[in-house]
Structure 1
Amino acid sequence: MLQIKQLTITHKKDLRVIVKDFSLVLNPGDKAVLIGEEGNGKSTLLKWIYNPELIEGYTETQGERICTGEHPGYLPQELPAEEKEKTVYEYFCGEDAFGLQTPRELTHLAGQLKLPPDFFYRDQKMDTLSGGEKVKAQMARLLMARPTILLLDEPSNDIDIETLEWLEKLIMEALQPVLFISHDEMLIERTANMVIHIEQLKRKTESRCSIAKTGYRQYAKNRAEQLASQEQRALGERREEKKRQEKFRRIEQAVNHDLNSMTRQNPHGGYLLKKKMKAVKSLEKRYEREALDRTEIPETEDAIFFKLGEAVKMPAGKTVLEFSLDRLLTPVSGEEEPRLLAEHLFLRIKGGERVCITGKNGAGKTTLLKQMAEQLLSRTDVRACYMPQNYEDLLEPDRTPVDFLSETGDKEETTRIRTYLGSMKYTVDEMNAPMSELSGGQKAKVLLLKMSLSGADVLILDEPTRNFSPLSGPVIRAILRQYRGAILSISHDRKYIEEVCTAVYQLTPGGLVRMETEKQQCDRNGQD
């Protein structure tokens, strides 16, 4: 069992309260998902639960953590820098339990994660693995240690659909408590039986944390109904209050008028009017007391808002990309010989198409997308923008969001950029913070905003939704679905594939194979 009592976490730099008086009990069988907008402190909370020392450098904390006799296992959002230069074998040797695994156990674990049996002994550097392979390696090492509590920060990031389904099964069948952060709505809907919702209200000056022992869909439904009911009740009370106040003012004005005109001529009548005025004042005080008890208008974190490609006009028949490649090889890495990933590749994209490439981890999707991006970015008849899987490929760690988005640096442009960043839920401090201090979701927002400001008519997106919360995800999908240009993307996000993409291809060793989405299958079956 894990117990947290009255935890308050305050950021040292801007004194922002991440959580206040937060208490939680996790029992065996609990599968709790931690949700909230990007940059709200979900990862900070998860780190504290695993080891409070991990956040001592940038936070002040008060509260109690009780996990006596427990052995928590923690999956960080990103592979620690000191681990990236190790070989795969060296990385696993860093876990004592690795040496205790039998060949049969390692083969079984590799099979579960869809990894080759020799994966654990590779001399390949961890940093050269695909994003999905890195996550799988971390999950494998974590499971070897047999933790009694699972703390998972974005375990669904970068892994292929087949492994996502394995992860869902792992979480659902886990006997130990599981607390996880994920941006994969489908995984959350299928696995979570408890929702912990962190919100930053009033321009991130006030923290609120809600805990519901229910599934995510039910939580979202209940929350929407409760907020709508509370808002309706609050607005109704204010309308009634306004009517009472107007009636009260009319009575007060009438009594004042009569009092002024009658006091000298009719002392007895003036006395009665004064008594009436006293009753009016008493009524006013009663109304004031009632106003203190009225229902508050519910305050929630607003969803992000931005527009993408409103001015884009691309003819539907225009050939945006016609790409062919005989052999796709792994990038050159040190002395390692390039490996053949796929061959006989061909892809044609027309204006208005929204294409997604899927495939197993390590199949070469990002390598392929980079080559396609080079071709598109060099073209003069289209305006292409690229969002890489690794944001640091484009974002310099010392630059601020305002600097990155500025073209001229003039005052008018800076004001406009700050307004746009505000619509993406950035505080003033975050607008001026170096990129290295921002969360993955905040970095993703900056890149999307850059695309919006550039007027791009072709978007090249490597896992575009992976760092957006389940609260922002629907907004991002709706914006991309309405985009009038062409989209070339890689994704394992099943909701993105279903709701946004008009064509899906799977990268296989033999080339790109056109796939049907679940919606297309249903449409076809309905016609049959």
Structure 2
Amino acid sequence: MLELKDVSVWLSQNNRPLAEHFSFALNRGDKAAIIGEEGNGKSTLLKLIYDESLVDGYVDHSGQIIKKGRAAYLPQMMEEQDLAKTVAGYFEGQDTAGRAGLLASLGLAADFLRSHRRVSTLSGGEKVKIQLARILMEEPDVLLLDEPTNDLDIETLEWMENYIRRSRAPVLFVSHDETLIENTANVIIHMEQLVRKTRCRISVTHAGYREYLAARRQSFDKQEQVARKQRADYGRQMERWRQVYDRVDHEQRVISRQDPGGGRLLKKKMKAVLSQEKRFERQAESFLDFPEEEAAILTRFSEDIRLPKGKTVLDFSLPELRIGERVLARNLRLFVSGGEHVGIVGRNGAGKSTLLAALWEELRNRRDITACYMPQDYSQKLNYDQTPVEYLAANYTKEDITRARTYMGSMKFTHEEMTGKIGRLSGGQRAKLLFLDMVLRNAGVLLLDEPTRNFSPLSSPVVRQTLRDFGGAIISISHDRKYLQEACDHVYRFTEAGLELQPE
């Protein structure tokens, strides 16, 4: 169905390799997840497989990509031309009536599909749903999905899991949703960047995600044990060799000139000792290396951030939440105190992001707290034409620049990434920038719209731990089931009737 033969990919700007001599076949029944840290080339590889023209101008590549049948591709970001259409225009020419079952399963009603709302005004989840609907109506032979669950509500996310599991067509997907990968993938493709992003490694394992992680950990532990034993044995061996060498050397130096025969014997013995040293050194060259592992890194918030339990962070009430003439919800009430961590869930398009933006307006000018906001659309906070250094070092003093570079370096940004345009960074790297900004501002209150959506499944546990340990208050929208369970004290469901506290 899909085969890659000896494919190599490298960035045009600095020749940094993303893949080298990579071969892989995607067959019927395969549900293959591409995992790896932010900026490692996962989306780039998926674009290249679908259409080489999508990566023209920023990567070079070699090798063969063989596709049999019709491939469908879900991009991480919609095209500008599609965003400018109405919903009805987006589905123009499609047999929506004949696929009512599929559309209903995605929560797309007939009147919604006929609406003249601009696609650009839809929520993130609604955008994903209409894209999924259109490509699935084509009944493709191969599905290529880049973050298919981004912004989906939990009900649709569970539908997506079932769809991938049951799909007759093989699926190759990139996702940051650990639960989705655990529940669907039977092949794991791991893209890594090693030695300060100068080397790449891609491994393919035909197993589920948990099995892959367990086998990888076991393999790394065994490799480390063998490597340590080899070096320990070598150390003892060389210590014994040193003792023999010192004894022969001493004997050579003190031997009497009246015994030339004994001197010749010692010279032969020393030659044998030195030959043995070279043999030991050659053996050492074949020792196993210690396992190289790309660690997930996220700068932590200061431990000094602590809000008293009795402090009122937010006391919010609103009779009606509107967008234009449309009423999204009534009788909204939310009280947050001290270091509470609150999660908000709800269906796509209900108005959760609109609510969070309203809460931001309520908190942004407070003098007694420092609040920071991470929107779902990063372009609301980031100027994509700026460099990361310019964004983080707003005053552009030498001290600010040094501090920004130090923090970015700790999160494995390369010099090129620090000084290139933000628009060239991956979604995960942009998310890291927003986190860094919050850390540098010493924020005590965080408003986060889908905070884990662009972090890899390997980074997400670190993100969850960082936010769980945060001593300030968090108000977040999320559909990440692990995040809601591990990092939130309380979870509210957003409905037209207001916020309903969910049972723990």
TM bracket, shorter-chain basis: over 0.9
1:307-386 aligned at under 5 Å gives the runs 307-330=300-323, 332=324, 338-386=325-373
CA contact (8 A) 1:106 1:117 kept: no
What is the alpha-carbon distance in structure 2 between the residues aligned to residue 102 and residue 131 of structure 1? Answer: 21
CA contact (8 A) 2:298 2:432 kept: no
More moved, 53-62 vs 435-444: 53-62
Any gaps of 5 or more consecutive residues in structure 2?
Answer: none
1:105-116 aligned at under 5 Å gives the runs 105-116=98-109
1:403-418 aligned at under 5 Å gives the runs 403-418=390-405
More moved, 409-418 vs 127-136: 409-418
Query: Helix, strand or coil for the counterpart of 1:325?
Result: strand
C-alpha spacing 1:362/1:8, structure 2 compared with 1 (3 Å): same
More moved, 293-302 vs 403-412: 403-412
What is the alpha-carbon distance in structure 1 between the residues aligned to residue 400 and residue 237 of structure 2? Answer: 48
Query: Helix, strand or coil for the counterpart of 1:470?
Result: coil
1:470-481 aligned at under 5 Å gives the runs 470-481=457-468
Deviation track 1:134-191 (CA, whole Å, cap 9, x = no partner) reads 0001000111111110000000100000000000000000011100000010010000
Match of 1:432 in 2: 419
Tell me by how many angstroms 1:505 deviates. Answer: 0.2
What is the alpha-carbon distance in structure 1 between the residues aligned to residue 30 and residue 380 of structure 2? Answer: 38
Match of 2:26 in 1: 26
Tell me by how many angstroms 1:407 deviates. Answer: 4.0
1:15-414 aligned at under 5 Å gives the runs 15-68=15-68, 70-93=69-92, 98=94, 101=95, 103=97, 105-262=98-255, 264-330=257-323, 332=324, 338-414=325-401
Match of 1:14 in 2: 14
TM-score under structure 2 length normalisation:
0.98
CA contact (8 A) 2:99 2:137 kept: no
Deviation track 1:295-338 (CA, whole Å, cap 9, x = no partner) reads 111111121131113221210111100000001112x4xxxxx2
Query: Helix, strand or coil for the counterpart of 2:101?
Result: helix
Tell me by how many angstroms 1:413 deviates. Answer: 3.0
What is the alpha-carbon distance in structure 2 between the residues aligned to residue 347 and residue 468 of structure 1? Answer: 28
Match of 2:451 in 1: 464
What is the alpha-carbon distance in structure 1 between the residues aligned to residue 418 and residue 153 of structure 2? Answer: 33
Tell me by how many angstroms 1:102 deviates. Answer: 5.6
Q: Percent identity over the alignment? A: 50
2:448 maps to amino acid: L
Is the aligned partner of 1:515 residue 2:498? Answer: no
1:220 maps to amino acid: L
RMSD: 1.2
Tell me by how many angstroms 1:209 deviates. Answer: 0.2
Tell me by how many angstroms 1:210 deviates. Answer: 0.4
2:35 maps to amino acid: I
What is the alpha-carbon distance in structure 2 between the residues aligned to residue 252 and residue 432 of structure 1? Answer: 55
Deviation track 1:217-259 (CA, whole Å, cap 9, x = no partner) reads 0001110111111112111211221222222222212211211
What is the alpha-carbon distance in structure 2 between the residues aligned to residue 126 and residue 61 of structure 1? Answer: 34
Any gaps of 5 or more consecutive residues in structure 1?
Answer: 333-337, 521-528
Is the aligned partner of 1:501 residue 2:494? Answer: no
C-alpha spacing 1:265/1:22, structure 2 compared with 1 (3 Å): same
C-alpha spacing 1:102/1:327, structure 2 compared with 1 (3 Å): closer
What is the alpha-carbon distance in structure 2 between the residues aligned to residue 472 and residue 377 of structure 1? Answer: 29
Tell me by how many angstroms 1:408 deviates. Answer: 3.6
What is the alpha-carbon distance in structure 2 between the residues aligned to residue 513 and residue 263 of structure 1? Answer: 98
Match of 1:525 in 2: none
CA contact (8 A) 2:306 2:339 kept: no
What is the alpha-carbon distance in structure 2 between the residues aligned to residue 280 and residue 137 of structure 1? Answer: 76
Tell me by how many angstroms 1:80 deviates. Answer: 1.0
Deviation track 1:64-92 (CA, whole Å, cap 9, x = no partner) reads 11113x10000000111221111111112
What is the alpha-carbon distance in structure 2 between the residues aligned to residue 117 and residue 343 of structure 1? Answer: 26
Tell me by how many angstroms 1:394 deviates. Answer: 0.8
Match of 2:477 in 1: 490
Query: Helix, strand or coil for the counterpart of 2:133?
Result: helix
More moved, 399-408 vs 423-432: 399-408
What is the alpha-carbon distance in structure 2 between the residues aligned to residue 173 and residue 60 of structure 1? Answer: 35
Tell me by how many angstroms 1:286 deviates. Answer: 1.3
What is the alpha-carbon distance in structure 2 between the residues aligned to residue 401 and residue 373 of structure 1? Answer: 24
CA contact (8 A) 1:263 1:271 kept: no
2:345 maps to amino acid: T
TM-score under structure 1 length normalisation:
0.94
Aligned pair count reads 504
1:271 maps to amino acid: R
